[in-house]
Amino acid sequence: MSSENKTIKFDALIVGAGIAGGEAALNLANSGYKVLLVEKERSIGGKMILLSKVFPTLDCSACITTPKVSEIARHKNITIFTESEVTDISKTADNDFIAHITKKPRYVHVEDCTACQLCEKACPVSVRDQYQYGLIGRKAAFIPFSIANPKAAAIDIENCTLCGACEKVCPTSCIDFTMETEYFELHAKTVIMASGFSLFDPLEIPRYGYERYKNVITSMQMEREIAPTRPYNTILRPGDGKVPDKIAYVLCVGSRDQTVGNPICSQICCMYSIKQAQLLMGALPMADVTIYYINIRSFGKGFEEFYQQAKGMGVNFVKGKVGKISELENGNLILRYEDISEGVVKEAEHDMVVLSVGAKSNPSVANIFQEGRLKFDPYNFIAQSDLMGSPSKTSIEGVFVAGTATGPMDIPDSILSAGSASSDAISYLIQHETV
C-alpha cells in the first residue's frame, strides 16, 4: 500500500457532500474558486438523495437532488473525492490550512464503468444494503443506489471473497483489485464543515424493541419504503411481507429525552412523520395511520397548514408518550402509552410501528482540528462563534459551518445556511487575497 502523500492545492475544502456541502461548493465554484469536496460515502447527496418527497411541498426529493448533484459533479471548479476522509486539519502561521485526506480504493475505474450491473449479478456474496437501511440485501460488487453519483459500481472489499466472478463478466475490464488507498496533503485557504448529522440509534431504547420486533422500523427505513427508488414495489412490513393497514408513528425517539442524553428537539421529526403519514394515506387508502406525539412543532413556513392537511386526510393524532412496545405472535405490536389529554395509561394494537428517530451530532469530525481548536456546543454540534451576527463562523477564523453540522434543521434551512457559509468564505478569501 502506497503511503506517499500527494500534495494538492485548492481555494476551499468542503467536508461533507450532502445538500449543504454541495450547495456551498456550487456557490464558491460559480464565483470562480476551486473547491475540493470530500465525502466519506460512495455517492454525494447526503441524506436528501435517499428521501421520498419533502415537506411541506411534497416535491419529489430525487427530482430536486439529482440535477443538483450532477451540476456539482460536472462543475469545472469542483473536484470530488468520494470514499474519502479528512484525518486532520491545521492552520499555518500564514493563514493556510493543511489537511490530510485518505481516499479509499473503489476497485472500479469509475470513468470506464457503464453501470451495466453485470458484476452485481455475477457476485455470489450478499450482505445488508446500508443505502436501503437494511431492508434488503446487496452484493459485494454493487452500485450503491440507482440515482447515486457517481453512478458506478464499487467493490465492498470487506465482504468480498476475491472469487473474481465480477472481473470475468465486466465488459469494460474496469474492475481493478490492485487499486490502493491514496493519501493527500491538501493546501487550502478556507474550510467549510458540512459534515451533517447522524440518526439516533433506537437500540439505545430497548423497550421499543427495534431489531427484536421485525415490524418496528425507523423513519429512514420508511422513507426508503415510500421513495420512488424503493426496495419493494409497495409498502410492506418486513416481518412477513404483509401490506400493513394499521401503522403507528412514535415521535421524539431519542429527542427531548434526558434519559438518552439528548434533551434537544430534532426539529424535523414532527414534519417528516406528518409527511410520511400523508404519503402512506395516498399509497394505502384503506390504512389507519396514527401519530403518537408529545407536542407537534409545526413552526416553519407552511408547516401548520401541512399539519392541518394531514388531519383533514384522516391521520389520527394522539397526544401520548409511548412507554413500551411489545409483540404479539402474529407480528402485530401493542403500544402502551400515556394518553396525555386524559391522563390515563392505554394500550393500542398496530401492525407496523415507525420510530421517528432524532437528529444527533456527527462524531466523526470531533478530532479533525488539532488541539481542540474547533469548538462544539454541549450536544457536540459545531459551535457558532457569532450566532446572531454571522451564524456560519466557527471558533477558527477561516473555518465556516453549513447545514446540520451545526444543529438539526430541514433542507431549506440547510441550503440557507450553506449560502451564509459560502458567502462568508468568499468574503474571507477576498480579504486575504487583497492583504
Ligand X SMILES: Cc1cc2nc3c(=O)[nH]c(=O)nc-3n(C[C@H](O)[C@H](O)[C@H](O)COP(=O)(O)OP(=O)(O)OC[C@H]3O[C@@H](n4cnc5c(N)ncnc54)[C@H](O)[C@@H]3O)c2cc1C
| Distance in Å, CB of 54 to ligand X, minimum | 4
Which of these ranges, 92-100, 149-157, 195-203, 312-320, lies near ligand X under the rule CB under 6 A? 195-203
| 129 binds, options ligand X, ligand SF4, none, Cβ within 5 to 8 A by partner type | none
C-alpha cell at 220: 429512514
Q: 372 CB contacts (<8 Å, ≥6 apart)?
A: none
Per-residue CA distances from 36 to 14, 67, 80 (Å):
6, 20, 6
Task: Return the one option of ligand X, ligand SF4, none that residue 393 interacts with (CB less than 5 to 8 A, by type).
Answer: none
Alpha-carbon distance of 76 to 158, in angstroms, equals 34
Q: Is 110 in the site for ligand SF4 (CB under 6 A)?
A: no
Q: How far is CA 396 from the centre of its chain?
A: 26
Bridge partner residues of 184 (DSSP)? 6, 101
CB closer to ligand X out of 15 and 333: 15
Backbone angles phi and psi of 107, in degrees to 5? 65, 15
In the complex with ligand X, which residue's Cβ is closer, 170 or 208? 208
Select from 28, 49, 155, 227 the one that contacts ligand SF4 (CB under 6 A).
155
The answer to whether residue 148 forms part of the interface with ligand SF4 (CB under 6 A) is no
Q: Are 307 and 274 in contact (CB under 8 A)?
A: yes
Q: Is 353 in the site for ligand SF4 (CB under 6 A)?
A: no
Closest listed residue to residue 2, CA positions, set 103, 88, 119, 80 = 103
220 binds ligand X per the rule CB under 6 A = yes
User: Would strands 246-253 and 352-357 be described as parallel, antiparallel, or unpaired?
Assistant: parallel
Residue 160, binding choice from ligand SF4, ligand X, none, Cβ under 5 to 8 Å by partner class: ligand SF4
Strand spans (E) along 294-432: 316-327, 333-339, 344-350, 352-357, 359-361, 399-401
47 binds ligand X, rule: CB under 6 A: yes
35 binds, among ligand X, ligand SF4, none (CB under 5 to 8 A by kind): none
17 contacts ligand X (rule: CB under 6 A): yes
**Residue number closest to ligand X, CB atom:** 18
- Single-letter amino acid code for the residue at 212: R
Asked if 391 and 228 touch (Cβ cutoff 8 Å), the reply is: no
According to the binding rule CB under 6 A, does residue 303 interact with ligand X? Answer: no
Q: Is 154 in the site for ligand SF4 (CB under 6 A)?
A: no
CB of 82 to ligand SF4, least distance (A): 15
Q: Site map for ligand X, 100-119, x if CB under 6 A?
A: --------------------
**Dihedral of alpha carbons 426, 15, 201, 394, sign:** negative
Residues 67-96 binding ligand X (CB under 6 A) are 85-86
Regarding 136 and contact with ligand SF4 (CB under 6 A), the answer is no
Number of residues that bind ligand SF4 (CB under 6 A): 28
Helix H, strand E, coil C: the string for 70-92 is: HHHHHCCCEEEECCEEEEEEEEC
- Residue 346 near residue 357 (C-beta atoms within 8 A): no
**Collapsing DSSP states into helix, strand and coil, what is residue 47?**
coil
Question: In whole angstroms, how close is the CB of 22 to ligand SF4 at the nearest point?
Answer: 24
How remote is the C-alpha of 114 from its chain's centroid? 26
Residues 164-203 that bind ligand SF4 (CB under 6 A): 164-166, 169-172, 174-175
Among 12, 14, 24, 38, binds ligand X (CB under 6 A): 38
Alpha helices (H) along 31-82: 61-74
**Which window, 11-19, 93-101, 322-330, 335-343, contacts ligand X (CB under 6 A)?**
11-19
User: Per the omega criterion (within 30 degrees of 0), is the bond before 150 cis?
Assistant: yes
Binding residues with ligand X: total (CB under 6 A): 40
Q: Tell me: does residue 48 bind ligand X (CB under 6 A).
A: yes
Nearer to ligand X, 119 or 154 (CB): 154
Residues 231-270 that bind ligand X (CB under 6 A): 268
Closest CA to 270 of 228, 299, 313, 302: 299
Question: φ and ψ at 360, to 5 degrees?
Answer: -120, 170
- Contact status, residue 56 vs residue 302, Cβ threshold 8 Å: yes
> What is the x/- site pattern for ligand X, positions 385-404, by CB under 6 A?
------------------xx
Indicate the residue among 165 and 226 with the shorter CB distance to ligand X: 226
How far is 338 from 351, CA to CA, in rounded Å?
Answer: 20
As a whole number of angstroms, the longest Cα–Cα distance in the chain is 73
The footprint of ligand SF4 on residues 111-130 (CB under 6 A) is 113-119, 122-123, 125
HSE, side-chain direction, 13 A CA sphere, residue 291: 27
Residues near ligand X, by CB under 6 A: 15-21, 38-41, 46-48, 51, 54-55, 85-86, 194-197, 199, 219-220, 223, 268, 272, 275, 362, 364-365, 403-404, 409-412, 414
Residues making contact with ligand SF4 (CB under 6 A): 108, 113-119, 122-123, 125, 140-141, 153, 155, 160-166, 169-172, 174-175
